[in-house]
Structure 1
């Protein structure tokens, strides 16, 4: 079954929502973003989080020592890198954390990057390309560009996924993880109704009950 990550949590209310609905992962953004949170706030939120849910910290081109400090302070399970982090950079954390590396998909040449990073990461996260932002664009990219990729690599799919298109995304791409943020928000805040609908569609085939 496809796993679910809800990214960009910022509030105690967000934690209450995910504790009720139990996605597999939640993400906290430490990079420059409208969803950026401090390490102090993240620690407060994680302290309230159901222990069955794994925590992901999202970073962009931070010094490795700064990432380590934040990860230890907050008690993160997984580090997700959205910048130009090298294979060596990713590898230096692997004895302590699960590592996810994000890639922006522009064309079919994306598989060259996946081959390069396969030995150094646990998950390759594929998102829409946007020259102005590192992830979180809320835009769907052409899934035909990654046809068959999930059969060779363990991938997370991000980019404009909502309750309306999530079953199509799962059927067409067959990702290991679906990564959601703006697709489960209303007016910039996480919405429990959308989170519940997404999880129901993935885990119960869209059926009620």
Structure 2
């Protein structure tokens, strides 16, 4: 089975980035509302999300935020998906009114044990465990540990993906979505050439 892998560009902070991404076959765009150099306020994100073209789903990234804050931001910014990177439990995820992707930091095989408790989330996001960080490390984990996860879960693969290794990652993990941020940047800003190269590798991938 080969999945038509979709693309998420995360950590978007500027209007020019949104307008540039709109030109390409990107499926998801991510806005960060947690501690990060790419963090946005609700009002900043609202201005950007209004400019996202139809057909690209808007994802909000949160870490241990109160449910009321998440729901307010999701409403104001018209988010399609809530991506949770903290210690949010299964009942917290189930209570949210939008599609939820729960992130799991992968260190070893035991890192996958918690996934089965989250039966009500629409997707699981696999990122690399780095002590003291909640994603955005730019490092990859051993993809072979996740090679069968797609059979039972809508799988989003993140962590250290770039145009040089994304085909290998797709071949091993067969994810539904690949999630990229820092590797398509130059000096902290999204770069059209890097995004174009990444998209070409993903969309041109053949088994």
TM norm structure 1 = 0.94
1:70-85 counterparts in 2 under 5 A?
70-85=73-88
Question: Does the Cα contact within 8 Å between 1:111 and 1:149 map onto a contact in 2?
Answer: no
Q: How many Å apart are 1:22 and its aligned residue?
A: 3.0
Question: Does the Cα contact within 8 Å between 1:106 and 1:129 map onto a contact in 2?
Answer: yes
SS at match of 1:120: coil
Matched, 1:46 2:49: yes
Q: How many Å apart are 1:79 and its aligned residue?
A: 0.3
Matching residue of 1:110: 111
TM norm structure 2 = 0.95
For structure 1, list consecutive stretches of 5 or more residues without a partner in the other structure.
Answer: none
Q: How many Å apart are 1:110 and its aligned residue?
A: 2.5
Matching residue of 1:30: 33
* Partner Cα separation in structure 1 for residue 94 and residue 151 of structure 2: 23
Question: Does the Cα contact within 8 Å between 1:56 and 1:79 map onto a contact in 2?
Answer: yes
Q: How many Å apart are 1:48 and its aligned residue?
A: 1.0
Aligned length: 203
Matched, 1:11 2:39: no
For structure 2, list consecutive stretches of 5 or more residues without a partner in the other structure.
Answer: none
1:192-203 counterparts in 2 under 5 A?
192-203=192-203
- The 4+ residue runs of structure 1 with deviation greater than 6 A are none
User: For structure 1, which segment, 143-152 or 125-134, has the greater mean C-alpha deviation from structure 2 after superposition?
Assistant: 143-152
* Partner Cα separation in structure 2 for residue 205 and residue 157 of structure 1: 16
Q: How many Å apart are 1:50 and its aligned residue?
A: 0.4
SS at match of 2:22: helix
Q: How many Å apart are 1:204 and its aligned residue?
A: 2.3
Matched, 1:131 2:131: yes
